[in-house]
Amino acid sequence: MQDLRFMTNNNIPLTIKETQEGLKAKKFLAVELVDAYLERIKKFNPEYNIFLTITEEEAYKKARELDKVGLYDKPLSGVTASYKDIFLTKNIRTTAASKILDNYIPAYSATSVKKIEDAGAIPLGKLNCDAFAHGASGENSDYGSTKNPWNKEFVPGGSSSGSAAALAAGMSLVSLGSDTGGSTRQPANFCNLVGLKPTRGVISRYGVIAMSSSIDTVGTFTHTVDDMEIMFDVLKGEDGFDGIVKNFEKPQIKEEFKLGIAKEFFKEGLDREVEEMIEGVRKTFESINIEIVDISLPHTKYAVPIYYIIQPAEVSSNLGRFDGIRYGNNRDRFGSEAKRRIMLGSYVLSSGYYDAYFDKAQRVRTKLIEDFNLAFEKVDAILSPVSPTPPFKLGENTNDPLKMYLEDVYTASINLVGVPSLALPTMFSEGGLPIGFQLIGPNFSEHNLFELGRRYHQEINYKPKIAL
C-alpha cells in the first residue's frame, strides 16, 4: 500500500474518481486515507481554525467497514466529508459556531448528512462558520475567525468559511455548507472551489439550524464540476420532513446555450480585476460557441436592501427559540452580529413598521422574481461575478457592517428569487488570491449549469489544486 500519511499537493486525491479508483485498485485503503486527512487536520487546523469538532472515532469506524467489505461501489464510497456546524449530527456536538450551543448534542442527523453517509462518505468532523451563519467573512464565529489557506491574512469568505477552507487546505474532499445570501458561492469564490446554491425546494433543509426560512438552502463544495454533480444527485429529492422539497427528473441536457450578462452587474464599485475576469470568461464562452446576450435585471439594485429587511426579520423569529430553557445557554451569549440582526428584524416586524418595510420588501421581491423570469425567456443562464472584490483582509470590514453587507450584492438576489447558481473557480488575482464567477439558471436547471461549467473548465484546461 502507498503511504499517504503525509499527502502533498502532488498526490492528494482531489476528485471522487481519483479516490475511488485508488481504493478499487488497492493503491491505498480507506483507513489510510483517514490517516492522511487527519494528519493534515492536526497539522494545519491550529493555525487556520477550520474544524470545531474532529470525528476521528466515527471516521475510522466507517473506513474499517468499507475496507472490510472491499466494495467501494456507492456514489461517495471512501470520500471524506465534513459539515458546516449548523448541520445536526446525531450524538456529535453541533454549535452553529455560537457559545449558546456550546454543549448541544443532537438526537438525530440532518437529512443531507444522512444521505451523504448512506452514500458511503467518511465523516471527518464539524466546521467553523459565522455564528448562526450570520456573516460574509468567517469572522463572526464565537470560536475565532477561520483563515484563508491561500493566505492566512485574508478571509476565506462566509458564512460557510470552514466548509470552503477545509477543501482548500486538503483537509476534506467534499463538504456541506449553507447558502442564504451567498454563503456557499462567496467562500467557494475566495478559496478556488466549485460551490452550488441549488434551487430552493430541491434539497431538504431538515436538521439544518434555520436562519432565514424562506431563503435558506443547503450548499455544497467540491473541487470539480463532476464531483458537484455527484453530490447534487445524492442530496436532492424528497425526504418526508421538508414540505417544500419535490422530486424532479434530470432534464435533457442542452446542446446549444444562450448566456446572458446583465448591465446592472457592472456598475461603480466592481473591482477592476473582477471586471477583467468576467470579460475573459465571456470571451472563453464565445470561443466555444456559447451565444452571449445582453439582458437587464432592473430590480437587482434593490436586492441587498430587500435581503437585509426580509432576512433579519426571519432571523429574529428563528432565534427566538434559543431561550436557554429547552436547550442551549442564555441569550446573553449572542454575538454582536446576531444582536444586530435581531434588532433589525424586530424593528421591521413591529407595529407601525411592518407595512412600511417588510411588506414592501416582499412586493419588490416579487418584482425581482419577474425580472429573472423574463430574462430566462431569452437566455438559458446568466453570467455574473460572485463578489465585487477578491478576498479582503481579516479585520478590514469588521467595523463597517454596511460594507460587509454589500459583499452580498451579486448573490443575495439569487436567494430571494430561489433559482440555482453555480460558482466556478477560474484564476488568481495579482495578489495571488482566487477569483471566480457564477452561472445562474432557472429553477431545476442544475444539470445544465453543470454542463456549462464543464465546458468552460475543459476549454481552459482547469486543474484543481490545494493551497497547503
Active site residues: 84, 159, 183
Contacts of 196 (CB under 8 A, 6+ apart): 184, 185, 219, 220, 228, 231, 232, 420, 421, 422, 423, 446
Tell me the angle at which helices 303-318 and 360-375 cross, rounded to the nearest 10 degrees. 120
| Amino acid present at 88 | L
Residue 330 · residue 378 · CB < 8 Å: no
Grid cell 466548509 — which residue? 163
Neighbouring CB atoms inside 10 A of 363's CB total: 10
The C-alpha atoms of residue 146 and residue 104 are separated, in whole angstroms, by 21
Strands (E), 224-278: 258-262
The C-alpha atoms of residue 369 and residue 375 are separated, in whole angstroms, by 10
Which residues is 362 bridged to in the sheet? none
Contacts of 199 (CB under 8 A, 6+ apart): 418, 419, 420, 443, 444, 445, 446
Phi, psi torsion values for 211, nearest 5 degrees: -110, -65
- What length does the chain have? 468
| Amino acid present at 155 | V
Neighbouring CB atoms inside 10 A of 255's CB total: 6
Tell me the angle at which helices 111-118 and 225-235 cross, rounded to the nearest 10 degrees. 110
Strands (E), 241-373: 258-262, 291-295
